[in-house]
């Protein structure tokens, strides 16, 4: 097994478990399974928990991937952060759709639904992060590093 793949697995799993625990705590103890009324919009508790936990798991995930898994990337940090954000936004959309499907259509419990959705999106994320966000070799090295 390549060291990079191992590091991705370990750091990704650590961040995923952290995200699951954080989601569980927010959903069960902060929101207490109640709708979140913000005045201009009302969010279901499982979606509100996702919105509240996202910024935290985003930053921990980026830092782990940048400094543990893909530390050999030649891209500048701000480029990596923007690209990471793009991949994460796609994953956020996939998570939203997954939660809507599993909780509201399939009638699964929210926390296991979040876990299942996360596992599905992990496949997309690994390849996107490796080939796009944290590139390590390219013919256009100078062009990419200046962005």
What pLDDT, on the 0 to 100 scale, is given for residue 139?
44
Give residue-wise pLDDT tens across range 85-136: 999 899 889 889 999 999 999 999 999 998 898 888 887 888 888 889 998 7
* CA–CA gap between residue 125 and residue 45 (Å, rounded): 25
More confident residue, 140 or 137: 137
Instruction: Tell me which residue of 47, 14, 60 sits closest to 114, measured CA to CA.
Output: 47
Instruction: Tell me which residue of 84, 95, 89 sits closest to 50, measured CA to CA.
Output: 95
Task: Locate 88 and state its tokens.
Answer: 């994460």
Instruction: Tell me which residue of 33, 64, 68, 63 sits closest to 47, measured CA to CA.
Output: 33
* CA–CA gap between residue 22 and residue 72 (Å, rounded): 30
What pLDDT, on the 0 to 100 scale, is given for residue 144?
47
Asked whether the beta carbons of 95 and 50 are under 8 A apart, the reply is yes
* CA–CA gap between residue 49 and residue 10 (Å, rounded): 24
Give residue-wise pLDDT tens across range 13-38: 999 899 999 999 999 999 999 999 99
Q: How many Cβ atoms sit within 10 Å of the Cβ of residue 129?
A: 25
Give residue-wise pLDDT tens across range 58-84: 999 999 999 999 888 888 989 999 999
Confidence bin at 137 (pLDDT 50/70/90): low
Domain ranges of the chain: 3-137
């Amino acid at each position: 097994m390549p060291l990079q793949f191992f590091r991705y697995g370990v750091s990704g799993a650590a961040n995923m478990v952290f995200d699951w625990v954080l989601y569980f705590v927010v959903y069960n103890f902060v929101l207490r399974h109640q709708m979140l009324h913000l005045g201009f919009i009302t969010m279901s508790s499982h979606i509100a928990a996702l919105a509240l936990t996202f910024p935290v798991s985003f930053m921990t995930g980026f830092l782990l991937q940048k400094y543990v898994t893909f530390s050999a990337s030649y891209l500048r940090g701000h480029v990596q952060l923007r690209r990471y954000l793009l991949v994460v936004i796609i994953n956020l959309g996939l998570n939203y759709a997954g939660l809507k499907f599993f909780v509201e259509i399939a009638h699964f419990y929210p926390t296991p639904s979040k876990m299942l959705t996360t596992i599905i999106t992990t496949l997309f994320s690994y390849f996107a992060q490796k080939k796009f966000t944290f590139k390590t070799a390219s013919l256009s090295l100078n062009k990419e590093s200046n962005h």
